[in-house]
Structure 1
Amino acid sequence: MAASHRTADMALPQAEINWDRLDKTKFYLVGAGLFSGISGALYPISVIKTRLQVVRADSVHKTAGSIVRHIVSTEGIRGLYRGFGIVITGAIPSRMVFMTSLETTKAATLKIAERMELPEATAAAVANGAAGLLSSMASQTVFVPLDVVSQRLMVQGTVGTTHYNGSMDAVRQIIKADGIRGLYRGFGMSVLTYSPSSAVWWAAYGSSQRLIWRGLGYGSRDDVEPPSQAKMVLVQASGGIAAGAVSSIATTPMDTIKTRLQVLKSETEGTPTISQTVKQLIKENGWRGFYKGLVPRFVSMSLWGTSMITSYEFLKRMSVKQEE
């Protein structure tokens, strides 16, 4: 049975390009530029989402449209890119850690899943989910300080936040107030937020795009013509949208708590705890407050996921070693 799974998998248009088949230099260099461009295009959505998550009940600007208009009218378009400099600087090492962990873990887990004779879609979900979980955990050590600084810059000017004169000033003030540990504020919640989110996203993507290919007749019949590039991109994009929907709904409450924990002060002006953050959120908005920013987060995750996965699959195809 395991052999039939492998044969069917190789018949699918989206067969896995394993880690050992990739030219690592090209993979890292092209990938750094590719994902930096995507990050730049989608960054304003993250700013809006973050503002929505920390807005108080008595705030004048409580909707996405109102926040955009306020930012643009007071700061111009550049206001939608607050904190982008430090994010893009740290994105390269963070992405390198993530992609390396993702591919090596996925390759190892797929072999284990094959030996367990799991159904193809299940094996893909398990392998991709495990890879997404572990790669996210590994990259958090680089990502969290960038996240703390960029989010502080995103929300400055709102009630309960501090004013900074750029990224380096934010770093200096955070270290002065809380030491190096201040840059890792919310680290536990970040791991609890991004790691499950990454696991759910990659698991949903890995299984959904294989199910879509099956639905189109690939992998089950030998007389199906190879798909066009347009069809491949469409299937990958559909898998990315499905993955974004599932993961955003599942993890938005944790993301809201994490964001408020990282950027707001407690009522006693000390470092808030998770419990204090949860109580304050319920006090201000009730239980629906946990889903603040759900729509822009869903849009962000869907757009990012669709753009990222189609670019990522393209990157892997570009980076396949030339046969000698």
Structure 2
Amino acid sequence: MESIYSRQIFAVDGIRGFYRGYVASLLTYIPNSAVWWPFYHFYAEQLSKMAPSNCPHLVLQAMAGPLAAATASTVTNPMDIVRARVQVEGRTSVIETFNQLIREEGFWGMTKGLSARIIASAPTAIVMVVGYETLKKLSLRPELVDSRHW
């Protein structure tokens, strides 16, 4: 089945058809990461201040990840909607797609799919943070482990 769609895309758009929405994807995913990491550290720090001293830092970090994902998803959701339209509808202009979305659906059109996006990103954030923080801790030389505040 995939090869039928691939052939259709190639027949209509050539090689460029396989990269439809590439710029829109970059304009979605780069800002998402740029927002995610600072908010992750912010939430981890705030949770650390509020939590009891015996609470494992990994638990707090596992909570900070989904909070950061929800924040980044909320901030970048409008561009994700534009990206999806560019890819699915075969549009070429990100700006025109954005303007059309505003004309047709107004501000609330920018919130489409936000709850699903947040729900989908939360488990990924937990797995990523636990893996990242665990590998970071395991990568330290033994003499430095106790000097770090996790």
Give the TM interval when normalised to the shorter protein.
0.7 to 0.9
1-structure distance, mates of 2:106, 2:17: 29
CA distance in 2, matches of 1:213, 1:278: 39
- 2:87 is the alignment partner of 1:259: no
- For structure 1, the 5+ residue unaligned runs are 1-164, 218-223, 266-270
Deviations along 1:180-231, one digit per CA (max 9) or x if unpaired, are 22222122221111101111011111222133224447xxxxxx6xx56xx2
Q: 1:225-283 deviations in whole A, cap 9, x for unaligned? A: xx56xx23320122112202211111100000001100114xxxxx4422442244234
Partner of 1:175: 10
Provide the rounded CA distance (Å) in 2 between the counterparts of 1:291 and 1:234.
30
Note if 1:250 corresponds to 2:75.
Answer: yes
| Counterpart among 57, 62, 86 of residue 237 in structure 1 | 62
Query: Paired residue for 2:43?
Result: 208
Structure 2, unpaired ranges of 5+: 143-150
Name the residue aligned to 1:187.
22
Q: Distance in 1 between matches of 2:69 and 2:25?
A: 18
What TM-score, normalized by structure 1, do the two folds share?
0.39
Paired residues, number: 142
CA drift at 1:287: 2.3
Asked whether 1:307 is paired with 2:130, we answer: no
Task: List structure 1 segments (4+ residues) > 6 angstroms apart after TM superposition.
Answer: none
> Which of 108, 112, 124 is the equivalent residue of 1:288?
108
Does the 8 Å contact 2:21/2:92 carry over to 1?
no
State the alpha-carbon separation in 2 of the partners of residues 297 and 186 from structure 1: 19
Cα RMSD (Å): 2.6
Q: Sort the Cα spacing of 1:279 and 1:321 in 2 relative to 1 into closer, same or farther, 3 A.
A: closer
Residues 277-297 of structure 1 show CA distances to partners (whole Å, capped at 9, x for unaligned) of 224423442221111101101
How far apart are the structure 2 equivalents of 1:315 and 1:180? 39
State the TM-score, normalized to the length of structure 2. Answer: 0.77
Return the offset for 1:301. 2.0
- Superposition pairs of residues 128-143 of structure 1, within 5 angstroms: none
Equivalent residue, structure 1, for 2:148: none
Higher Cα radius of gyration: 1
Identity %: 36
